Amino acid sequence: MNQTRQYPGAQHVVIVGGGTAGWMAAALIARFRTPAQARVTLIESDAIGTIGVGEATVPLIQHLNSVLGLHEPDFVAATQGSFKLGIEFVDWGRVGNRHFHGFGDYGADIDGVAPHHHWLRLRREGLDAPIGAWSMAWAAAGRDRFAPPQAMKGPAAAFKHAYHFDAGLYAQLLRRHAEGKGVQRIEGRIAGVTRDGESGDVTTLVLDGDREVTGDLFVDCSGFASLLLGQALAVPFVDWSHWLPCDRAMAVGSRRAGRLTPFTRATARAAGWQWRIPLQHRTGNGMVYASSQISDDEAAATLLAGLDGEALGDPRPLRFTTGRRARFWERNVIGIGLAAGFMEPLESTSIQLIQTGLARLIELLPSGSADPAIAAEYNRQTIGEYERIRDFLIAHYALSSRDEPLWRQCRAMALPDTLAHKLATWDACARVPLYDLESHQEPSWVAILLGQERVPRGIDATADTADPQVLAKLFADRRALLARAAESMPAHDLFVERTCRALAA
């Protein structure tokens, strides 16, 4: 029999840890719960560092900033940010391959059929242009140009944008916002956790100096340490490293060199891949790799050799295991960010997972009594989102035809059933079956599948019988329209300089 109990959680919410996750939690909870409904306290220690790398995001963050009332130009300037239209993948399918996952699609359906089917039809007729040529996001990004969608018209407005920014500066911005809404910050390290002997709920956090903080609902944003969810409540970790074997990263900033590109770049290497994130004051760089295939020193050397500007220090190492906690909401603790799980940064989903986890919490958190079904539903949705992102990341590795040991291993591994079904359906008919809680819709899958030259056997029957001359004209007209629209945009660095230049580095 289900037993309801009071979640004191609506009275005093205690957030453990700062950084992007902690201060995002504080800002959002304070936004949707008045001090009379819930007092919010955040505990963090200046002595505990955060990962603090240059961060790339997805368009969903615009909604977060909007509900917090953060004006885009002010936000970009405060975080030394730039704009992002997608991700350029270099050397992934094979050495020499380049493709683009843009924030948009490839145009409207033609005769009720998605345009990639018609692109495949033209490919049979000898078309020699990537599918990305019909993406407005790439039309602009490939020319290093940017303007927001609302400044464009017609098909040229059918794209979205996200941001690159300094994660440490973003956390500071969120902190100022949250404290302005009444969030109390307590400086200190957590030395102990007290739990109720009957319910098992966390009741008190013991800080250094024998200080105590009692609470009702606890949001664990303590990073990889997972102090409450992983340690105090012993929620097990579900390890996905057999599918995603990269387990280490090196990160380093470099001086800006060349144009301020409006996209993230991910370059495949023999034992992993390298990211490049352009900010106003520097470029963020990192090497994600499998320690079984390359030493830390070799990874650092590979990273430094691939920089396009002078390194601003020594590469900082990071160890991780890709996966998630078996449950994200356990008793009166909810894990957010790295305390809940880790998905490598290949598709910039870190902040997305923080944001969606908090959105579920705010949506499901009642003002009074709560049924265990609420935590169960929170866990169901969050597990689903993690697993769909997991499949998308695995596909990047499994589709590669590169011949180094890491890539051969990924190509030969048994895939999750959900991903195997998706790829089999694609191979048969060029359609991507989507599950519940998919973060990446069909155009995103098309970008990666066709970008890595996974050409299906069959296409839609309507496209298969279409007049290739008519299709060729439609595609040529769209490509020309997008090119003219992109040429009308200002250069990305000029747009940033005019609208949201940071005042100081």
**What are 435-452's pLDDT values in tens digits?**
999 999 999 999 999 999
Q: Coil, strand, or helix at residue 124?
A: helix
Run of H or E including 166: strand 162-166
- Quick one: DSSP state of residue 228? I
Contact of 23 with 49, CB cutoff 8 Å = no
Q: Please, which pLDDT band fits residue 38 given cuts at 50, 70 and 90?
A: confident
Q: Taking 50 as the threshold, does the pLDDT of residue 5 lie above it? A: no
Tell me the mean pLDDT in the region 31-54: 78
Write down the H helix ranges in 70-166: 72-78, 115-124, 136-141
Annotate 359-388 with three-state secondary structure.
HHHHHHCCCCEECHHHHHHHHHHHHHHHHH
Other C-beta atoms within 10 Å of 395: how many?
22
Rounded-to-integer distance, Cα 449 and Cα 395, Å: 8
Residue spans per domain, the chain: 8-81+165-237+322-377
Rounded-to-integer distance, Cα 186 and Cα 355, Å: 23
Rounded-to-integer distance, Cα 449 and Cα 455, Å: 8
Rounded-to-integer distance, Cα 367 and Cα 451, Å: 48
Q: 237-270, pLDDT tens digit by residue? A: 999 999 999 999 999 999 998 889 999 999 999 9
Q: Taking 90 as the threshold, does the pLDDT of residue 8 lie above it? A: no
Rounded-to-integer distance, Cα 123 and Cα 111, Å: 18
Q: Taking 80 as the threshold, does the pLDDT of residue 167 lie above it? A: yes
**DSSP-derived secondary structure for 302-344:** HHHHT-SS-BSSPPEEEE---EEES-SEETTEEE-GGGTEE--
May I ask the CATH architecture of the domain 8-81+165-237+322-377?
3-Layer(bba) Sandwich (3.50)
**Helix/strand number for the chain, H first, E second:** 15, 24
Contact of 301 with 249, CB cutoff 8 Å = no
Look up the pTM and report it: 0.95
pLDDT of residue 303: 98
pLDDT of residue 33: 82
Other C-beta atoms within 10 Å of 173: how many?
21
pLDDT of residue 4: 41
- Quick one: DSSP state of residue 231? I
Catalytic residue among 84, 153, 181, 473: 84
Listed range (24-28, 153-157, 371-375, 482-486) with the worst mean pLDDT: 371-375
Rounded-to-integer distance, Cα 28 and Cα 134, Å: 37
Q: Taking 80 as the threshold, does the pLDDT of residue 487 lie above it? A: yes
84 annotated active-site: yes
Contact of 93 with 400, CB cutoff 8 Å = yes
